[in-house]
Amino acid sequence: MALRHAVLAALLDGELSGYQLAKAFDVGVANFWYAQPQQLYAELTRLEQQGLVAGREVVQESRPTKRLFHVTDAGLAELEAFTAASAKPAFVRDDLMVKVQAADSVDTATLIDQLTERAEIARARIELFEALLRRLRGDRGEEDFLRHGHRIGPYLTCLRGVAFEQENRDWCLRTVAVLEERRHTRARN
């Protein structure tokens, strides 16, 4: 039950509707959690029943009525308790890594294609995250922001997101290079 905490943490940034939350999970939150909109709506319902978030209806003209949620005091207490509890080490689960693990037995060309595609995705995400970082720190320098800004949580996780994706991209490109060289070497024999 950790999606609930990810939702709570995401809602700290201000009131959000389920729909907006889904958008958030596509960018900033994507650094450390991934979820479909349906899951988020379901989670919000549960959290509201338990009094950890509270929602209010906002009638809009020219758009459907939405419900904006915010974290309650009970929700904050829950987050606090969650933080105090020991976390199990992060784990990566990556289909692409499974494929590379089997690299010696499967088709190299397919693998190279997928690695290249992944490197491109990583590149795009780096740009996205860096734009988010610039937005979060405003006109301040990074050091200054981290020292004196408020709400540095999202900034810190985003920093990790950038580093992760850079590493991801570098590794993909390096792996492609290795596989390609081996392909050529073998072709010559």
Partner DNA sequence: CCATGATAGTCATCTTTCTGACTACTCACA
Partner DNA sequence: TGTGAGTAGTCAGAAAGATGACTATCATGG
Q: For DNA, which stretch binds (CB under 7 A), given 65-73, 98-106, 123-131, 159-167?
A: 65-73
Provide, rounded to whole angstroms, the least separation between the CB of residue 147 and DNA: 34
Q: Could you count the other beta carbons within 10 Å of the beta carbon of residue 40?
A: 23
Provide, rounded to whole angstroms, the least separation between the CB of residue 80 and DNA: 18
How many binding residues for DNA (CB under 7 A)?
A: 26
Binding site for its own copies (CB under 8 A): 2, 5-6, 8-10, 12, 29-34, 76, 79-80, 82-84, 86-107, 110-111, 114, 118, 121, 146-148, 150-154, 156-157, 159-160, 163-164, 167-168, 170-171, 174-175, 178, 181-182, 185
59 touches DNA (CB under 7 A): no
As a whole number of angstroms, the distance between CA 132 and CA 161 comes to 11
The binder of 63, among its own copies, DNA, none, by C-beta within 5 to 8 A per type, is: DNA
Q: For DNA, which stretch binds (CB under 7 A), given 55-63, 108-116, 139-147, 162-170?
A: 55-63
Helix (H) or strand (E) holding 67, with range, is: strand 66-71
Contacts 24+ apart (CB under 8 A), 156-159: 157/28, 157/31, 157/32, 158/28, 158/31, 158/129, 158/132, 158/133, 159/133
As a whole number of angstroms, the distance between CA 96 and CA 83 comes to 31
Provide, rounded to whole angstroms, the least separation between the CB of residue 179 and DNA: 26
What tokens does 56 get? 């209010």
Instruction: Confirm if 164 and 31 have CB atoms less than 8 A apart.
Output: yes
What tokens does 166 get? 């850079």
Helix (H) or strand (E) holding 56, with range, is: strand 53-58
What tokens does 15 get? 């009131």
Nearest residue (CB) to its own copies, 17 versus 111: 111
Q: For DNA, which stretch binds (CB under 7 A), given 64-72, 104-112, 137-145, 149-157?
A: 64-72
Nearest residue (CB) to DNA, 63 versus 188: 63
Of the residues 34, 97, 124, 170, which one makes contact with DNA according to CB under 7 A = 34
